Structure 1
């Protein structure tokens, strides 16, 4: 076409793109330069010229369920994560069941600004009591134990790997039983007090997520200087 410029566009996934040995594009689309908008323009979305892009979330938050589902109440965090995964959560929040994969969780923490760990948390109160703890690990000893899965060890491992988020919250529930892998009788269900606390635990985590995902949001509360002393820096709901 004399004195005219046209752009030819083909589709990567076009089933008629390659025809025979000559590999001639089967479908071609022609546009004039004035009909095409640059994807590099501010607010343009990849693959859609001129489309607006939603603002990225102010904070990325990982909600991690941890625990062993074969050890009775130790599976609380896994069950709670499963319930939360079926709820609508704010933008920027990922809910993941890590089970007993401590090393995977420690590495994953590097991608988030805030972590909320869900776990059974024995503190001597009535079974089913819910707790929230915010931890600081500046003075904690490093750890290289990739097999332990309690929040203390996981956070120490994350600090050793250099993957600590800005904030770490632990949402726990007082267990009615504490089994170990050495015991013969494994138990793949939560105790009645634990099951009864799950709905309230879901609401508790949802409240926390609303706070921490808000721009500049930060739930008030004390911080634990020594994460091993879990009786400090936390509050409970009975």
Structure 2
């Protein structure tokens, strides 16, 4: 039986490189990269509650596509296997917040996972295909290093799915 994988692009297109996830999902939606029929790709943007509700379905894996804090090499794509606490830490350091710590224009993983838990759901095996960001300044459009990394990240999503499906078929 084939694994069901949810690929979720997250980020705010109005905050520069934070729009990386939605940009990668646009490329995946073009169909130039073949994905199995058991994969669903959704651009969630900043709609965290929508993601929480969709995670109530029976998924074998979740792949989040997002901009991540730079480690000094904007445009570098990383593939990380993570758990909920890792995601909260990763996302909370990525996009700067105001003094209250609340931003209505950003996805808050802690709220997503709290909602998922309250609804009786559980986070499936989770990966992040993340790209080191250059800027989260207001404005539409990715910085040149992230724009150049979009196709690489789309291929990384496909590779992660292939690897997960191969692992799932040997484990199941």
The 1:69–1:137 alpha-carbon spacing in structure 2 relative to 1, beyond 3 Å, is closer
Which ranges in structure 1 are unaligned for 5 or more consecutive residues? 1-56, 180-185, 219-238
Equivalent residue number for residue 92 of structure 2: none
Mapped pair 1:170 → 2:122: no
Cα contact 1:151–1:170 (8 A) shared by 2: no
The structure having more radius of gyration, on CA atoms, is: 1
Secondary structure at the aligned position of 1:214 is classed as: helix
Mapped pair 1:119 → 2:62: no
Distance 1:105 1:169 in 2: 15
Distance 2:21 2:38 in 1: 20
Q: TM-score, normalised by structure 1?
A: 0.57
Distance 1:155 1:135 in 2: 13
Equivalent residue number for residue 110 of structure 1: 56
Distance 2:169 2:69 in 1: 29
Secondary structure at the aligned position of 2:139 is classed as: coil
Cα contact 1:81–1:97 (8 A) shared by 2: yes
Distance 2:150 2:109 in 1: 19
Which ranges in structure 2 are unaligned for 5 or more consecutive residues? 89-101
Distance 2:36 2:78 in 1: 22
Query: Is 145-154 or 64-73 further displaced after alignment?
Result: 145-154
- Residue of structure 2 aligned with 1:64, choices 8, 26, 35: 8
Give the deviation of 1:118 after TM superposition: 0.6
Give the deviation of 1:80 after TM superposition: 0.3
The 1:139–1:215 alpha-carbon spacing in structure 2 relative to 1, beyond 3 Å, is closer
Secondary structure at the aligned position of 1:216 is classed as: helix
How large is the Cα RMSD of the aligned pairs? 2.7
Cα contact 1:81–1:96 (8 A) shared by 2: yes
Q: How many pairs does the alignment contain?
A: 153
Equivalent residue number for residue 207 of structure 1: 159
String of CA shifts for 1:104-154, please: whole Å, max 9, x gaps: 00110121221100111004231101112212248999xxx9955154553
Equivalent residue number for residue 48 of structure 1: none
The 1:139–1:98 alpha-carbon spacing in structure 2 relative to 1, beyond 3 Å, is closer
Equivalent residue number for residue 81 of structure 1: 25
Give the deviation of 1:160 after TM superposition: 3.8
Distance 2:147 2:128 in 1: 19
Bigger share in helix: 2
Cα contact 1:102–1:146 (8 A) shared by 2: no
The 1:80–1:138 alpha-carbon spacing in structure 2 relative to 1, beyond 3 Å, is closer
